[in-house]
Structure 1
Amino acid sequence: MADPCAAFLAASPAAGWSRAALAGDASGRRYERLTSPDGRTAILMDARGEPASLSPFLRIGAHLRSIGLCAPEVLAQDAGLVLLEDLGPWHMAAWLGQRPTESELLCDVAIDVLVRLQASRPPEGLVALTPIRAAGMIAPLWDYYTPGTDPRAAAEITGRLREALESHASDAPVLALRDYHAENLVWRPDRAGTDRMGLLDFQDAVLAPPEYDLASLLRDARRDTDAALRARMIRRFADLTGRDEAHVAAAAAILGLQRNLRILGVFARLAGERGKPGYLRLLPRVWNHVQGDLAHPALRPLEPLIRAAVPAPPVPA
């Protein structure tokens, strides 16, 4: 059977380039790095397994480039296959794995990107992450991580979370990329300013509270950040956006809790239903993120409810 990717590439600017598979993510998309005989590179994104994600990916990418941020240029596309600019070989997590002393620098630039993103008017037609929508998004927690939870307890926690969001993160005026974490940020040390940070995986973008992507960065499911670095990021974000630091910290804690309760359920589903057991190894860190954010005073009404209903995951073998 003919390979559609090979046919697509044969008619593209990357005709004849070598192909190497890249590690996948939680989506149905697949990626390859293409290399020319003289060392140039590009990325093949195969979105045929997740066709609904392609249009928003292209639209949000064009918006990001229009406001001077670094999203990959589209070099060719056809029937769910896209040839993309290669932003570079180092995502932020891999770079810091070898150069941990540069954490402050890279996190500062990541915050600068958020500030620039939020200073621009978002594109039209995005779903708004209202408190009722955000609270409802933790449903995978009950369906897959703790399927035996009493529905009354689940409903109470969801309602209390909505109330916390209404009190501290009710407005959704800015573009949020939703998965703003270290494996979706490409570090480009030879560039300047915000062009040093390339952006990936933004097709699920929404309108959200300003602290939403900050919370994603502070409580990364795939890597830890120490308390001092998190405090630095909160302070930098507050200073550069003119927002009250205490408000930013409270909103980030609540949005981080919402994100990570949802992620517990999503990762459990990926491991159980999609045959991706590697996600089980991430659950202890995500659960620890939940415990960390519950310590914030704004979440005091939720703390005993969640501690009773959301147990620690088993330690992976």
Structure 2
Amino acid sequence: MNNRIQERRRFLEEKGWNDWGIANLAGDASPRKYFRLSSGSKTAVLMDAPIGSCGPLDPFIDISEYLIEQGFSSPKIMAKDITGGFLIIEDLGDDLFSSLLVKQPELEYDIYQVALEILVALRQKVPPPHVPAYTPETQGELSALSLTWYARYISGVEVNEREVNQLRDFVAGAISSLNERQVFIHRDYHAENLLWLPERSDQERVGLIDFQDGSIGQSSYDLVSLLEDARRDISTTLKEDLLYRYSELTGDSLALIKKGVAISGIQRNLRILGVFARLSIRDSKSWYLDYIPRVWDYLMGDLETAGLPDLTSFIMNTLPPPNPENLDKLRSA
């Protein structure tokens, strides 16, 4: 038995949960592991997040408490070991948007409307204290992952630092040009981090998870995360309806919303190209490469909408397209 299993058992025993049944749950892109605890009809979720590989638990705890205080559905913290990297949290069920819509696609319009309304509601809230700013400079830095992981391992050529700096500056400048409200952003607001809770009411009908990287940033960021989901398609009609509804609810110009979504989408999709390549190459999670063509298509659409010819030219000249040959290079890297 490895040390981590022993530590997990010790935590459960110390907190009085050792007589509950335990079963694996699907994880996410991080090293965190999740387990469902059960006792009769009662359930909870054990999060196993070693501090060394996952970072401190405080951001997750603080943001979860903030979201609950603001009237949103986030897992309540039931027991914790900050030093050991363990939490027992409320079980919000299995109805992730991504899996629910495979079974009940007719729910898509309604549940996405509620997810959109949450973003509008979050705009009106005072952001939580001690949450980091997702600055234009940080976003520029992260966009360069597309060069250091995606392009680098397709081309087989060492990264040109001048090009990395150019991309950082292009993206940081584009983000800085947005005159958007700075709000709390989840940073991974998509169908695998949203749970449908129909027994609850209003904005509490969507459960929020995996928000530990939450930051303060431009309001279009989470909107594009919802609309340009790397793991699933939404129809053009639904996307247009959601953008129009967002404009109605916020009073913001539809044209400015679309431009903000495009610019935030460029940054986000550049980052995802690099992150998914890294997950395959470094962490042996090659299935993330299957999502890259969709991300590339989003990027191309965002470049067309954003009206940034210098950045567009730069990307087209430095990033290879994810054709089958190039994806095979990433798989074998």
Which sections of structure 1, spanning at least 5 residues, go unmatched? none
The aligned runs of 1:222-301 (5 Å cut-off) are 222-301=231-310
1:240 Cα deviation after fit = 1.3
**Pick aligned residue for 2:144 from 127, 139, 147:** 139
1:26 Cα deviation after fit = 1.4
The aligned runs of 1:64-75 (5 Å cut-off) are 64-75=67-78
Structure-1 residue corresponding to 2:135: 130
Alpha-carbon contact 1:129-1:207 (below 8 Å) kept = yes
1:15 Cα deviation after fit = 3.4
Inter-partner Cα distance in structure 2 for 1:208 and 1:172 = 8
1:137 partner SS: helix
The Cα offsets for residues 167-211 of structure 1, whole Å up to 9 and x where unpaired, read as 2x2556210010111000011122211111000011101100111
Structure-2 residue corresponding to 1:201: 210
Inter-partner Cα distance in structure 2 for 1:162 and 1:11 = 48
Alpha-carbon contact 2:115-2:206 (below 8 Å) kept = yes
Inter-partner Cα distance in structure 1 for 2:14 and 2:138 = 43
Which sections of structure 2, spanning at least 5 residues, go unmatched? 329-333
The Cα offsets for residues 211-265 of structure 1, whole Å up to 9 and x where unpaired, read as 1100111111111112111111212222212211111110011101100101111
Structure-2 residue corresponding to 1:82: 87
Alpha-carbon contact 2:23-2:35 (below 8 Å) kept = yes
Aligned length: 315
Structure-2 residue corresponding to 1:35: 38
**Pick aligned residue for 1:156 from 154, 161, 166:** 166
The aligned runs of 1:166-177 (5 Å cut-off) are 166-167=176-177, 169-171=178-180, 173-177=182-186
Alpha-carbon contact 1:164-1:298 (below 8 Å) kept = no
Normalised by the length of structure 2, the TM-score is 0.89
The Cα offsets for residues 17-50 of structure 1, whole Å up to 9 and x where unpaired, read as 22111122111211011121x2221100001154
1:118 Cα deviation after fit = 1.8
2:79 partner SS: strand
1:11 Cα deviation after fit = 3.6
Counterpart code for 1:73: K
Inter-partner Cα distance in structure 1 for 2:247 and 2:44 = 37
Inter-partner Cα distance in structure 1 for 2:94 and 2:241 = 27
Structure-2 residue corresponding to 1:91: 96
Taking structure 1 as reference, are residues 51 and 313 closer, same or farther at Cα in structure 2, changes over 3 Å only?
A: closer
Structure-2 residue corresponding to 1:47: 49
Structure-2 residue corresponding to 1:8: 11
Alpha-carbon contact 2:147-2:319 (below 8 Å) kept = no
The alignment-based identity, stated in percent, is 38
Counterpart code for 2:282: E
Alpha-carbon contact 1:270-1:277 (below 8 Å) kept = yes
Taking structure 1 as reference, are residues 204 and 311 closer, same or farther at Cα in structure 2, changes over 3 Å only?
A: same
Inter-partner Cα distance in structure 1 for 2:28 and 2:315 = 28
Alpha-carbon contact 2:56-2:85 (below 8 Å) kept = no
**Pick aligned residue for 2:65 from 62, 66, 80:** 62
1:77 partner SS: strand
Inter-partner Cα distance in structure 2 for 1:206 and 1:15 = 35
